[in-house]
Amino acid sequence: MAEVHVIGQIVGASEFPENDLFCKWEAHFGPAWKRLQGEVSGQTQVDCPASGEMAYFAHPIDLHFATRGLQGWPKLHFEVFHYDWAGRSSLVGYGFAHVPSQPGLHKIDCVTWRPTGSFMDEVSSKFVGGGIQLKRPDLVYELHDRRNVHSTAGGKVHLELSVILRNFDKFGVEC
Amino acid sequence: MAAEAGASSFMLNVCGQIESVELPHYDYIFLIYQFVHGDDWERVLGLEEGVSQLSSKSADVRGLHAFAFPVEVTFKSTNPHGWPQLVVTALGTDIWGNQVVRGYSVCHLPMQPGRVTKRVPLFAPQSSSLMSKLQGLMQSEHPLYTDPKILGQGQGRQVTRVRSLGQMTLNFSTSMKNTRALGYQLLPGENFGAAAAM
């Protein structure tokens, strides 16, 4: 069996309108893949940076997969939330990134977007807080038709991941 | 040196140092480092916990704490899962003269052979309310992790609120033994399988 290790960190997030952020993440993979070890989802700490525009999560990711095929290569999906002074959280970005298929160290900047509502939705979210969210979060990372979604750019989630492959060469796969 | 035939474990050797810390808010700082790793890993050589010197900020515009604090460790493992992480606690003294935590940082040891310089953020846990924060300032009880090793895992972090307030610069030189013999490909472009499969 070929094995893949994905080890690294969700370093942080930047370029969002507010800096007090946290992030929820989840790993998704196809049926040919089997998770052997490691958590497939989690939620980071909330960072309220003293200065600068980057919120740091330093959240470890350590996944170990076994696979019989290349289809359904694992991907990580992120939901970034803003944590306000009253302790409420509102969604500020959805994003996803495929786990790199090349072994070695990768620094990945994952772009995010948030759904845009009608004019009234946007106005009320400015005053009351909160924002609209997707009914089906899998729209973010699956190959679905997105034509009915209107989105606005969010900031970036920064990842530092190392990929270790095992036995791929025995199956004649080049990565 | 040829890899050992029939090896069941590999070794990771890391030599490096914690070069410096930028913590502009605080003056007298010292560091304690620890390793967090999975159950398949065993530390063969190196300290379990290292304590640095006490540093004062430089008087110039950099306001830098320079440590040049060596980190040298060798691990043995049968599985890359649980790859070791370095957890560093930066401690200082508050106005009452008591030792308080000023920040934490966590990063994985490198997973590729070679030399690398890293900049890692420092963050400190925050009180959950203004009252407890004021109380903490008066009574010298600042929030801290009961076991800093919790930073090596993802679970349980969602309830913590932190404030990132500085950067740590480190460098590592890494070498491995037997990772190739066990079939692990750590770097792109390594195509040793053709020989191994025969």
- Domains of chain B are 2-122+165-186 (2.60.40.150)
Model pLDDT, residue B191: 60
Neighbours of B14 (CB within 10 A): 20
With CB atoms and an 8 Å threshold, state whether A7 touches B151.
no
- Whether pLDDT at B198 is above 60: no
Q: Which residues of A touch B184 (CB under 8 A)?
A: 164-166
Model pLDDT, residue A86: 80
Return the DSSP state at B111: S
The pLDDT mean for chain B works out to: 88
Q: Which of A36-40, A146-150, B134-138 has the highest mean pLDDT?
A: A36-40
Q: Is A55 on the interface with B (CB under 8 A)?
A: yes
Residue A18: strand, helix, or coil: coil
Tell me the mean pLDDT in the region B100-112: 95
Residue B197's pLDDT band (cuts 50, 70, 90): very low
Q: Which helix (H) or strand (E) holds A43?
A: strand A41-43
Model pLDDT, residue B195: 43
Higher pLDDT, A29 or B196: A29
CATH number for A9: 2.60.40.150
The interface predicted TM-score of the complex, written ipTM, equals: 0.90
Structural domain count, chain A: 1
C-alpha angle B44/B39/A56, rounded to 5°? 95
For residue A87, is it left (φ>0), alpha (ψ between -120 and 50) or beta?
left
With CB atoms and an 8 Å threshold, state whether A48 touches B126.
yes
Q: Are strands A46-47 and B161-177 parallel, antiparallel or unpaired?
A: parallel
- CA quadruple B176, B181, B183, B188: dihedral sign: positive
Q: How far is A118 from chain B (nearest CA, A)?
A: 32
Range of the domain at A65: 2-171
With CB atoms and an 8 Å threshold, state whether A44 touches B106.
no
With CB atoms and an 8 Å threshold, state whether A175 touches B188.
yes
Model pLDDT, residue A127: 80
Pair B103, B29: CB distance under 8 Å:
no
Model pLDDT, residue A81: 94
For A64-76, the pLDDT digits (tens) are 999 998 899 999 9
For B5-24, the pLDDT digits (tens) are 567 999 999 999 999 999 88
Q: What b/e sequence results for B102-138 when a residue is b if at least 16 CB atoms lie within 10 Å of its CB, and e otherwise?
A: bbbbbbbbbbeeeeeebebbbbbbbbeeeeeeeebee
Model pLDDT, residue B194: 45
With CB atoms and an 8 Å threshold, state whether B126 touches A49.
no
Q: Which residues of A touch B80 (CB under 8 A)?
A: 5, 7, 64, 164
Give the number of beta-carbon pairs within 8 Å between A and B.
135
Residue B192's pLDDT band (cuts 50, 70, 90): low
